[in-house]
Amino acid sequence: MPPRGKTMSTAIPEFDTDPFSHDSVRNARAVDDRLREFAPVVRLAGEDNIVMLARFEHVAAGLRDWKTFSSTSRPWHDPNSVRPELLLTDDPPKHSRVRAVVASALSPAALSKMAAAFRTDADDLVAGLKARGEGAEVDAVADITQSFVYKVLPDLLGLPEKGREHLSAFGNMVWATMGPMNALFQETMASTGQPVIDWATEACKRENLLPGSLGMAMYEAADRGEITAEEAYLLVGILLSAAADTTVMTMATALQAFSQFPEQYDLVRADPTLIRAAFEESLRWDSPSRMAGRLAMRDVEIDGYVIPAGTRCGLMFAAANRDTRKWTDPDRFDVRRATAGHLGFGFGVHACVGRILALLEADALLGAICREIQAFEPAGPVEPWMTTIGHGPAKLPVALRFA
C-alpha cells in the first residue's frame, strides 16, 4: 500500500447484503466469498464509516501494517462491552509489553507438561464414545470437541469446577461483542445475561485460581512487576475467551471435513504426522473467525479506492483463506496442501499467541480419534453457530465407525 499522497480515488462500492444478518450467517461461506469478489474494498450498506477487505493480499498486508491499521478500535466498537480491552485492542509498545507475558506462559516449554494431561483426557473421551457402540450417533461438537476443550482449558487456567457450565454462554457473549449490535447480538445478550458475567468475573480472580496454573502465571507476572494486577485479571478472561470456541470450532470443522472428504481422513489415519496439517487446513478451509477489526490511521489507497483515515475496517480472514488469487481449488479440503501463510491464526504482531496450545490440543484429541475411529458418517443436518464473527458448526451429527 503506497504512503499517504494525492490519489485519484473511485467511490467505494456498496455491498447489497448485510453479511451479519441471520440469513448471511447461515450462508457465511457464500456471502464472504461474494463480498471478496464484489470489489477490493467494500462499503457496508447503512454503515457510513465501515469498509471490508477480503482479498488475501490486502488482508495480509493490513494485518502486517499495524501502524496503518490500528487495533485500538474497530467496526461497532463499544469500549464498555464485556470484552476485555487489552492486548488485542492495543498497538505496540503497550501491546508488546503485555504480549511478552502471555507468550512466555504459553511457550512450548511451559506447555509441554500439559500435553500428557491432554492425552489422558482425549483417551478417556474417545473411550467413552467407543462405549456407546458401533454406529452410535453423536453430536461431534457437544460430545467431542466442546466436551474436550471445555475440560482441558479451564483445567489449564486453574478455574474452579463450579460454574463451568457457563463457558459456552460466556463465549457467545464475547464473540457477539466483535460484531454489529444487530438482532443476533440482542438475542445472544438476552439469552445469557448477568449470571454468566458474574461467573466469569469471579472465576478469573486470583483467589479462585489453582496454584501452578496458567491463570495464576498471569498474577505471578504482576507480582514481578511485568504487568499490573488489573491486567493479570483481564488476561485470564482474555485467555478463556480466545482459547475456547476457536479451538472447539477448528477441530469440529476438521471432523466435518473428515466426514465430507473420507479419503483425506484415511490419509491422516495412515500417517498421523499429518494431524497438524489437517488442523491447519481446517483453519484455512473454514476459519472460525470471519473477521478482525481495525482502525485506519491514515488515508490508504487500495487498487484505486481510498479508505479515509478514521475508517473502521473489517479484515476478513475466512474469505482471504479461500481467495483463488492465492489458493488453488480452495473449497477442497486437502491435508497435503502447503498451508503456510494462511490467516486462520491471524498474522503480524497480533498473530495468535496460543497457536502451540491449540496444536497440542489437536495432537491429543485428533490423535486419539484417528487411532480409534475409522469413519465419521453424516447423520443429520449441520447447524451453524448463530453468531456474527465466529463461524463453524454448532451441531454436527455423525455416526461413528470404530477401528
Contacting positions for ligand HEM (CB under 6 A): 87-88, 99, 102, 106, 238-239, 242-243, 246-247, 250, 283, 288-289, 292, 317, 344-346, 350, 352-354, 357-358
Beta bridge partners of 395: 383
Least CB distance from residue 343 to ligand HEM, whole Å?
7
Q: Is the CB of residue 285 less than 8 Å from the CB of residue 333?
A: yes
- Return d(Cα 62, Cα 40) in angstroms, integer: 13
Q: Least distance (Å) from ligand HEM to the CB of residue 7?
A: 27
Peptide bond preceding 211 in cis form (omega within 30 of 0): no
Q: How far apart are the first and last CA of the chain?
A: 52
- Edge-to-edge order in the sheet of strand 137-139: 137-139, 397-402, 373-378
> Three-state DSSP class for 158?
coil
Q: Report the residue number, 230 or 377, with the smaller CB distance to ligand HEM.
A: 230
Q: How far is the CB of 250 from ligand HEM (least distance, A)?
A: 4
CB of 56 to ligand HEM, least distance (A): 14
Closer of 265 and 317 to ligand HEM (Cβ):
317
Q: CB of 113: closest distance to ligand HEM in angstroms?
A: 15
Long-range CB contacts (< 8 A, 24+ apart) of 62-65? Answer: 62/294, 62/313, 62/315, 63/292, 63/315, 63/343, 63/346, 63/347, 63/348, 63/350, 63/351, 64/347, 64/348, 65/1, 65/348
Q: Smallest distance from the beta carbon of 403 to ligand HEM, in angstroms? A: 26
Of all residues in the shown chain, the one whose CB is closest to ligand HEM is 354
Q: Which is nearer to ligand HEM, 285 or 400 (CB)?
A: 285
Least gap, CB of 71 to ligand HEM (angstroms): 7
The strand ranges marked E within 300-349 are 300-302, 305-307, 312-315
What is the three-class DSSP state of 307? strand
Report helix, strand or coil for 353: coil
Closest distance of CB 165 from ligand HEM, Å: 20
Q: In the complex with ligand HEM, which residue's Cβ is closer, 357 or 368?
A: 357
Q: Cβ of residue 401: shortest distance to ligand HEM, in angstroms?
A: 26
Beta-bridge partners for 400: 376
> SS3 breakdown of the chain: % helix, strand, coil, rounded to 5?
50, 10, 35
DSSP secondary structure code for residue 390 in this structure: B
Q: Between 77 and 130, name the residue whose CB sits nearer to ligand HEM.
A: 77
Q: Considering the complex, state which of residue 86 and residue 400 has its C-beta at the smaller distance from ligand HEM.
A: 86
Partner residues linked to 50 by β-bridges: 312
Residue 382 CB coordination number (10 Å): 18
* 235 or 306: CB nearest ligand HEM: 235
Distance (Å, whole) CA 8 – CA 39: 17
The three cell numbers locating residue 257: 471435513
Nearer to ligand HEM among residue 227 and residue 306 (C-beta): 227
Least distance from C-beta 237 to ligand HEM, angstroms? 11
39 or 248: whose CB is closer to ligand HEM?
A: 248
Closer by beta carbon to ligand HEM, 243 or else 295: 243
